[in-house]
Structure 1
């Protein structure tokens, strides 16, 4: 049973929206403004849909105004690094130095979630590990955006952009909302005392995170290697690693990354499941549309390659 609070309701709405988008995606006569709303990047021209008309109507002009460059994805990871650095710093302060979270942050927690829970669903160690992993994920993706990735001139709808910012801003709040109360009452004397909370699922979740993170990074390196330079905007068929199995291994890896957080939190943390299902709905929808784009653009696209789940989907 999912918790009854404002943030969980928001996640449920977002999940429902992505499921609805998948249904709309299957409608061949979908109006351009709806197609531009639910699609982004190169897939906007799947089956010729979403192409701007020669006549510049008020609707087509509005669509252009509501689009932002896809390379603005970098802002997601800047937000992630800022928010999770703040959280990790304050968590360490609370656990080891008798500190307290800023009052305004606790007010936000209480308003959006059921914090504090009478019976926390995760230990201090679990919460600290997950926030640290989210920070690592944000730092790595920020590095890849700045140093490795080479983006085309494709765009995304501003609604996708805003939703992405909200996701990375509130991911950490979901985690701490069902952990121990963030006051000096949880102060510990040493790292050893915290380490005594170590369980098998912490190790399993971290190993899974590292495994998925490695393949996530490899996928982005392969993407970057398909282009001869930052001015190259062409698209080619990617090969290597998980690309031999699915069209979007980076989406598959991201799903596994958030699944690993469920494991680290000991399977009892309700809010993290909502974050996972949101990621799952988002990435599955995106991968299926990308897979269809590849198959339409390249006649020699590998027939045995699936969209996101090897041998199945």
Structure 2
């Protein structure tokens, strides 16, 4: 019951987030940090990413390790996929961050709370409710979902690497990203993450997974559009045929 309520809460908050972001609000960090008019303390980016993402790795991993002998294989597989994303996001990604930009304390706190609730939600549901594979349709969903998740994760990691390499000289300025899916969209990293969690939702076909995929889309799609407009306004040479979020579409 608690997990279901959290899932519905995430669906509602996703819709609200989407409306707020398409209305023009921008999270005041990164390239938009100068738009904040309030004296907000900043946390070093490496530590912020490590701490805020860690609950979504630790909580599912705890339930996985302590219940692996009693869980169906598919549930173990689902939790391993989920943890694989946050293994990268909490432990590997922070170590590779370049530059000395920080994360506003309120953004860090919101991210930490989200990762805590979502990590708990995914872990509880997929460690206590069996995901049944009983028909050819179930197998097809599992295959397509897993493949989609892996493709999305590869796009996400590759795009992060391209963005990171723009700062090899140690400078904190912004440049036009090229290569990978950035050839087609401004928010390649955002698109990859949405593809990833869409695959996760297809694989599991559970309410918490769908809620997470929906929230991710509502949060990242508008941000991709904001980044797209920012690039167009800042760089006269920005590719005219590049879309914001979905290749060849929008």
What TM-score do you get using the length of structure 1 for normalisation? 0.68
Report whether the alignment pairs 1:309 with 2:246: yes
Unpaired segments ≥5 residues, structure 2: none
RMSD: 2.9
Change (3 A) 1:12 1:157: farther
Report whether the alignment pairs 1:277 with 2:224: no
Count of equivalent residues: 245
Rounded Cα–Cα distance in structure 2 between residues aligned with 1:293 and 1:157? 24
Q: Is the 8 A contact 2:56 2:115 kept in 1?
A: yes
Greater displacement, 6-15 / 167-176: 167-176
After superposition, give the CA deviation of every residue in 1:118-140 in whole Å (9 maximum; x if it has no partner): xxxxxx33332221111111112
Report the 3-state secondary structure (helix = DSSP H, G, I; strand = E; otherwise coil) of the residue aligned with 1:130: helix
2:5 aligned residue: 6
What TM-score do you get using the length of structure 2 for normalisation? 0.84
After superposition, give the CA deviation of every residue in 1:96-133 in whole Å (9 maximum; x if it has no partner): xxxxxxxxxxxxxxxxxxxxxxxxxxxx3333222111
Structure 2 matches for 1:281-296, cutoff 5 A?
Answer: 281-296=218-233
Structure 2 matches for 1:1-313, cutoff 5 A?
Answer: 5-25=4-24, 38-44=27-33, 50=35, 60=37, 63-65=38-40, 68-71=43-46, 72-95=48-71, 124-153=72-101, 155-156=103-104, 158=106, 160-179=107-126, 181=128, 199-229=139-169, 231-265=170-204, 267=205, 269-313=206-250
Q: Is the 8 A contact 1:18 1:285 kept in 2?
A: no
Rounded Cα–Cα distance in structure 2 between residues aligned with 1:250 and 1:180? 29
Distance apart, 1:172 and its partner CA: 3.8
Distance apart, 1:234 and its partner CA: 1.9
1:55 aligned residue: none
Rounded Cα–Cα distance in structure 1 between residues aligned with 2:19 and 2:102? 23
Rounded Cα–Cα distance in structure 2 between residues aligned with 1:20 and 1:164? 19
Q: Is the 8 A contact 1:69 1:155 kept in 2?
A: yes
After superposition, give the CA deviation of every residue in 1:142-194 in whole Å (9 maximum; x if it has no partner): 34424433145254461x32232233223343335555747xxx9xxxxxxx9
Greater displacement, 269-278 / 74-83: 74-83
Distance apart, 1:274 and its partner CA: 1.1
Unpaired segments ≥5 residues, structure 1: 26-34, 52-59, 96-123, 187-193
Of structures 1 and 2, the larger Rg is shown by 1
Rounded Cα–Cα distance in structure 2 between residues aligned with 1:179 and 1:203? 18
Report the 3-state secondary structure (helix = DSSP H, G, I; strand = E; otherwise coil) of the residue aligned with 2:23: helix
Rounded Cα–Cα distance in structure 2 between residues aligned with 1:295 and 1:70? 26
Distance apart, 1:247 and its partner CA: 0.7
